[in-house]
Amino acid sequence: MRATRWQMTGPGAPFAAAEFEPVAGADEVVVAVAGCGICHTDLGFYYDGVRTNHPLPLSLGHEISGWVVACGRGAESWQGRSVIVAAVIPCGECDACRRGREAICAQQKMPGNDLHGGFATHVVVPARGLCPVDVAGLAAVGLDLAGASVVADAVTTPYQAITQAGLGAGDFAIINGVGGVGGYCAQIAAAFGATVVAIDVNDDKLAALPDTAAALRINARGAAPRELKASIQTFAKARGLRDRSEWTIFECSGTRAGQETAFGLLNHGATLAVVGFTMDKVEVRLSNLMAFHARALGNWGCAPRLYPQALELVLTGRVRVAPFIERRPLEEIDAVFDAVHRGQFERRAVLVPGLPQS
């Protein structure tokens, strides 16, 4: 089998194409990549000096979909199937995994970090990280398998954050930062029956959200924290919702300003879910958690067992993906990374092997 991966050799250095022979070991499969989304985390590795667990050279990319073309011993049942590869693949056997706490599995493997990732024609991954995909069902909602790659991270990560927060019908959810992950967070929260307030500093991102995803959209640029909180309270009260307590706040911007904004929205019994990542530090009065009897929850990836449920939201049209992705040839990875880094993509860039070059 002929396979090529585009490897990171050093921070900011051109990606180097390397041919390799993909071989599936026991309980592993070879996936022919349909598409692999470019995530903020990839940019962190490539531009910001965040270290990968696997030494360089390494192909990045953990938002992978494709077709199983070869199986190792014990994984034969996957042959020929269309799949999404979980961005974080827990071992499934340790104490944490057995208790359903896969996110903290110490033996977990992340493609594009612990092992070669999806900016390649093929990847070799543990079969326990696979989620089967109904391609005909995708087509019915205007999506192909390459486009469904974003389910591997951008959709499932907020899905787990929302289930972990216990969000449900009648709840009031505030999503801070609605590009990429946050946009899906808003859509999923609405699908769970919550009333959603979307906050961003970019009007285009707010406007791009589907009508059903947000009951109120606020541009927080230049708004004082008190004003922001007051306007949300007014809205909640007018809707007959809890206006002074138990807000569920999802911080998806991964910026210092966004984290400060999110923390400032805490009220009695509130839940703050930290979904976005930044290396920056923020100054907060941590005791507000105590005084408000509030809680803060981190979220790392998504357990593979939750992927079918998250995918179901996409297949039923309750979470729309097609308008938020842009396909680019994998062979143009250098130019696409540069453009994403410069903020020239409004939508998620998905690298597709063999796509006709522009």
Where does this chain bind Zn ion (CB under 5 A)? Answer: 39, 41, 90-91, 94, 97, 105, 153
Q: Which is nearer to Zn ion, 66 or 90 (CB)?
A: 90
Q: Which is nearer to Zn ion, 97 or 252 (CB)?
A: 97
* Element of type H or E holding 28: strand 28-37
Altogether, the residues listed in the chain come to a count of 358
Q: Which is nearer to Zn ion, 41 or 267 (CB)?
A: 41
Residue from 42, 48, 26 nearest 113 by CA: 42
* Element of type H or E holding 160: helix 156-165
Pairing label, strands 295-298, 348-352: unpaired
Q: Which is nearer to Zn ion, 105 or 198 (CB)?
A: 105
Q: Which is nearer to Zn ion, 151 or 270 (CB)?
A: 151
Q: HSE on the CB side for 57, CA within 13 Å?
A: 14
| Residue 168, amino acid | G
Q: How far is the CB of 277 from Zn ion (least distance, A)?
A: 9
Q: Which is nearer to Zn ion, 119 or 263 (CB)?
A: 119
Q: How far is the CB of 112 from Zn ion (least distance, A)?
A: 9
Q: Which is nearer to Zn ion, 63 or 200 (CB)?
A: 63
Q: How far is the CB of 110 from Zn ion (least distance, A)?
A: 9
Whole-angstrom distance, CA of residue 100 vs CA of residue 79 = 27
Q: How far is the CB of 294 from Zn ion (least distance, A)?
A: 27
Q: How far is the CB of 24 from Zn ion (least distance, A)?
A: 21
Q: Where are the alpha helices (DSSP H) in the chain?
A: 40-47, 95-98, 135-140, 156-165, 181-191, 203-208, 225-238, 256-264, 287-291, 307-315, 333-341
Token couple for 166: 């216990």
**192 to each of 134, 146, 152, 268, 294, how far by Cα in Å?**
22, 26, 20, 22, 22
Q: How far is the CB of 317 from Zn ion (least distance, A)?
A: 24
Q: How far is the CB of 152 from Zn ion (least distance, A)?
A: 8
Cα 189 off chain centre by:
14
**141 to each of 213, 319, 328, how far by Cα in Å?**
17, 10, 21
